[in-house]
Chains A and B, each alone.
Chain A
Amino acid sequence: MIGVGKIKHYTNLLEKPLSRGRQEVSLSAFAFLFSELVQYNQTQVDNIAELERRLEDAGYAVGARVLELLCHREKVADSLEKGTEHEDEYMISEKELLVNRFISIPKDMGAFNCGAFVAGIVKGVLDSAGFPAVVTAHFVPMEGQQRPRTTILIKFAEEANAIEACMLQRYILDQVALELNVDLVTQTEVAHLRDLEDQVAAKQIKGETQVETTGGKEQLISKQLQDPSHVLEGLNMRARAKIIGRTNYEVSS
């Protein structure tokens, strides 16, 4: 008899012990599955916006459940960072996003981005955690690289502004990044962004960026980076972007 003694049958799914943590499947299995998901959705919609919406919805469902799994795994919260800023916009930036790695966009689909799925996951996680946010995915063309970098832009709703909330948000985003195998922006990239920022300063656009606030609230400047907000070309110039780095990747000025 197969698996004698190994498999217990539970009447209720919820009584089953939570399975063996970090198991893995091949990247290509995921890539194939994702491509079928996109292809199926293509047949169900008429335009790109709807396609992105559907992918985002699918990702949302994933994100909600990812959060539950994270909570039940009893992750110790020792990677909480001391955030002193009241930023409400964050970016997760990835050179070659997992879902975009094996996907090529035909020219007539223009700005479609499968990162909408990942954006949906992040949105699902944050919503379920009680931090409603608007999450979108953008292509950011980078100089010297053929493929544009994908950026997930997260804009938190106004309610979530207490310091504890900020810390929790950072923590959750860190965990989500871990789940998605996304590397947060590294030191060299922050340096690159600082160069961009210098260029921006030279163009005297900097003054404009400080002004835009949500609901007229003052935005505190990050103590860690000790710089005013960075502006990335390719994103809406009026949007304030804040880079999240892991603690060991922070740049001191």
Chain B
Amino acid sequence: MAPLVPKTGDAIFASIDRVNAELFTLTYGAMVRQLLTDLEEVDVVNKQLDQMGYNIGARLIDEFLAKSNVSRCVDFKETADVIAKVGLKMFLGVTASVSNWDPEGSSFSLVLDDNPLVDFVELPDTFQGLHYCNILSGVIRGALEMVSMKTEITWIRDMLHGDDAYELRVKLLKQIPEEYPYKDDE
């Protein structure tokens, strides 16, 4: 069978169903508001967002692999590029750039200029510690973990805190070898 040609992020985004980004943005805002009302503590909300993102990422990776036809990434550098150019484009309609590789090639920065999650959002003083887009870090972490990469993701820059872009630091902790579930003899 001829190998499937990986599609570009733009091509995939054009071929899938899309919805109004504002609906998406406002729904996310409603969700964060609910979390803040229920949980009140900013740290707890950050954790909850990350956890929700993790759940999403674990399922999102399947769709990503199915629709994008990317072959197995050779190294972490390729992974980074694929996330930035194909993954983010396919789901959020925006691309990010990859930068600041460390010497071992085990961590990079993902920089987003445009982020549909944060349209029309301003953080009040009482919630300055909130990482509003923490769901994104969870999504990436969850997705990568499903393809055997355990990562740690932190926010370096956040436009809602006054910076000029969104920067995520993605650090590869370890590659987990595939484990097969124990098979019963039946």
Contacts and interface: CB of A to CB of B under 8 A. Distances in A.
Interface stretch (A59-67, A80-88, A160-168, A211-219): A59-67
Interface stretch (B51-59, B78-86, B178-186): B51-59
A29 B26 contact: no
Interface in A95-146: 98
Contacts of B30: 37, 58-59, 61-62
Contacts, number: 119
Interface in B1-45: 13, 16-24, 26-31, 33-35, 38
B52 to A, nearest CB: 5
A220 interface: no
A158 interface: no
A2 B164 contact: yes
Contacts of A33: 24, 27-28, 31, 56, 135
Nearest to A13: B122
A66 B23 CA distance: 8
Contacts of A226: none
A contact residues, range? 35 or more
A62 B164 contact: no
B56 A32 contact: yes
Contacts of B33: 58, 61
Interface stretch (B69-77, B89-97, B147-155, B169-177): B89-97
B130 interface: no
Contact of A179 (B20, B55, B121): B20
A9 B165 CA distance: 10
Given A2-B97, A7-B164, A13-B122, A27 B17 contact: yes
A249 B18 CA distance: 25
A77 interface: no
B113 A24 contact: no
B contact residues, range? 35 or more
A59 B30 CA distance: 7
Contacts of A22: 20
Contacts of A57: 34
A248 interface: no
Contact of A24 (B18, B27, B56, B119): B18
Return the 8 tightest CB-CB contacts between A and B, nearest first: A27-B17, A24-B18, A13-B122, A58-B30, A23-B21, A62-B26, A29-B91, A36-B52
Interface of A: 2-3, 6-7, 9, 13, 19, 22-30, 32-37, 39-41, 44, 54, 57-59, 61-62, 65-66, 69, 98, 179-181
Given A27-B19, A37-B30, A61-B26, 8 more contacts: A13-B120, A26-B17, A26-B18, A28-B16, A29-B91, A62-B26, A65-B120, A66-B26
23 contacts: A2-B113, A2-B165, A3-B113, A3-B165, A23-B20, A23-B21, A23-B93, A25-B91, A25-B93, A26-B19, A27-B17, A27-B19, A30-B23, A32-B60, A33-B28, A35-B56, A59-B30, A61-B30, A62-B27, A65-B26, A65-B29, A66-B23, A66-B26
